[in-house]
Amino acid sequence: KTATNDELHERIRVAKETLGERVVILGHFYQREEVVRHADYLGDSYQLAVQAKNRPEAEAIIFCGVHFMAETADILSSANQAVILPNLAAGCSMADMADIDSVTQCWEELTALYGTEPDADGRVPIIPVTYMNSSAALKGFCGENGGIVCTSSNAETVLKWAFERGQRVLFFPDQHLGRNTAKAMGVPLEAMPLWHGRKPLGGNTAVELAEARVILWNGFCSVHKRFNVGQIEQARRDHPGVRVIVHPECPMPVVDAADEYGSTEYIRKAVAEATEPTTFAIGTEINMVQRLAAQYPQHTIFCLDPVVCPCSTMYRIHPGYLAWVLERLVAGEVVNQIVVPEDVALPARVALERMLAAKP
């Protein structure tokens, strides 16, 4: 017989109570409501990384999010803590768009093109920057090559960090976060060639490549690429005075047309801090938008995409999996543990610690 939701919630509650301080449940804002209600802490990818580092008292961290987040938690948590991903199939299609072999090939091309000698100010020709939404191997690659990790909440701070140390940046996997952030910092679009593996994709000339400031990897988020300018125009027609906020993983024309953009925490805070009843049209994942709408009934809050757009991999964390991993822990068994091998974790930690130390 299949457990009903009520039965599952009760099983989770009982197992959690039995484990007490031994376990901490972290949840990303995109998790479904049935999972979020059991989380000890809810946050964006940056906040969850910080939490994972700062919870040494727990034997196990159950990460209700996607694979790259659990890997990051394993890298930053204490040595004897187990990080558990309730469903191992919860990946991220954007993170899968950059693999270590193609990025290494790209790096070989770029270092052959730009050399490795620092300029008169001590800045190296190119620095790799990876978005948090990437494998541990790519974070390790950045750690080994003088690079750094960023999230959507600190991308500008991190790019500044990189430009203090390098003349150019290779940014992967999300072209949109890279383009939107660099554009806001005044980097011209012509100085941002798109690249994949060994090749620039735009048939760029040698002069264009010499003048490049940010080389963008050809990755994107399949959820955020669904948003378009037409939806913003429609929202403005239907709701005069609407405040449009989108995530920086949206394509550049969408970010340009919006009133504001920012990470999931930025969006949450914008809604939480609005003092007057406001209409918000939000360009991000639907579970988060629906939760905000339920939490702040004084505002009118809707998703820019009228066709529901969940992150299908985040959605794979069903409460049934959460109940299962918790009950196995009660029985003394760790299942679905995410372990990053130490030879990868070591340089990845370097790149993550550089991010945590970079100040706005």
Site of interaction with ligand SF4 (CB under 6 A): 66, 92-94, 133, 221-223, 249, 285, 311, 313-314
Does 311 belong to an annotated binding site? Answer: yes
Does 264 belong to an annotated binding site? Answer: yes
Closest distance between ligand SF4 and the C-beta of residue 289, in Å? 12
Q: Which two tokens stand for residue 41?
A: 């802490």
How far is 84 from 213, CA to CA, in rounded Å?
A: 39
| Residue 61 partner contact from ligand SF4, ligand 13P, none using kind-dependent CB cut-offs of 5 to 8 Å | none
| Residue 44 partner contact from ligand 13P, ligand SF4, none using kind-dependent CB cut-offs of 5 to 8 Å | ligand 13P
Full strand arrangement of the beta sheet holding 23-28: 41-43, 23-28, 60-64, 82-84
Q: Which residue lies nearer to ligand 13P by CB, 43 or 193?
A: 43
Beta-carbon contacts of 127 under 8 Å, excluding residues fewer than 6 positions away, are 145, 146, 147, 148, 162, 165, 166, 168, 169, 170
Closest distance between ligand SF4 and the C-beta of residue 3, in Å? 27
Residues 227-286 interacting with ligand 13P (rule: CB under 6 A): 249, 263-264
* Residue of 147, 144, 233, 15 whose CA lies nearest to 25: 15
| Residue 204 partner contact from ligand SF4, ligand 13P, none using kind-dependent CB cut-offs of 5 to 8 Å | none
How far is 284 from 243, CA to CA, in rounded Å?
A: 14
Q: Is 152 in the site for ligand 13P (CB under 6 A)?
A: yes
| Residue 313 partner contact from ligand 13P, ligand SF4, none using kind-dependent CB cut-offs of 5 to 8 Å | ligand SF4
Does 28 belong to an annotated binding site? Answer: yes
40 vs 29, 71, 263, 279, CA distance in Å? 13, 19, 21, 30
| Residue 151 partner contact from ligand SF4, ligand 13P, none using kind-dependent CB cut-offs of 5 to 8 Å | ligand 13P
Q: Is 133 in the site for ligand 13P (CB under 6 A)?
A: yes
Closest distance between ligand 13P and the C-beta of residue 152, in Å? 4
**Segment interacting with ligand 13P, rule: CB under 6 A, options 151-159, 212-220, 231-239, 348-356:** 151-159
Q: Please report, as a single letter, which amino acid is at residue 35.
A: V
| Residue 31 partner contact from ligand 13P, ligand SF4, none using kind-dependent CB cut-offs of 5 to 8 Å | none
How far is 166 from 247, CA to CA, in rounded Å?
A: 27
Residue 350, φ and ψ in degrees, nearest 5? -60, -45
Closest distance between ligand 13P and the C-beta of residue 158, in Å? 12
Closest distance between ligand SF4 and the C-beta of residue 315, in Å? 9
Does 152 belong to an annotated binding site? Answer: yes
Q: Is 296 exposed, middle or buried (0-12, 13-18, 19+ CB in 10 A)?
A: middle
| Residue 258 partner contact from ligand 13P, ligand SF4, none using kind-dependent CB cut-offs of 5 to 8 Å | none
Q: Is 40 exposed, middle or buried (0-12, 13-18, 19+ CB in 10 A)?
A: middle
Provide the β-strand partners of residue 243.
Answer: 280
Q: Which residue lies nearer to ligand SF4 by CB, 296 or 315?
A: 315
Full strand arrangement of the beta sheet holding 214-217: 148-150, 127-131, 169-172, 214-217, 194-196, 199-200
| Residue 305 partner contact from ligand SF4, ligand 13P, none using kind-dependent CB cut-offs of 5 to 8 Å | none
Q: For the chain, state the CA radius of gyration.
A: 21
Q: Is 221 in the site for ligand 13P (CB under 6 A)?
A: yes
288 vs 57, 155, 232, 325, CA distance in Å? 29, 21, 19, 24
Annotated binding site: 28, 45, 92, 131-133, 152, 221, 247-249, 264, 311
Annotated binding site for iminosuccinate: 28, 45, 131-133, 152, 247-249, 264
Annotated binding site for [4Fe-4S] cluster: 92, 221, 311
Residues that bind ligand 13P (CB under 6 A): 44-45, 133, 151-153, 221, 249, 263-264
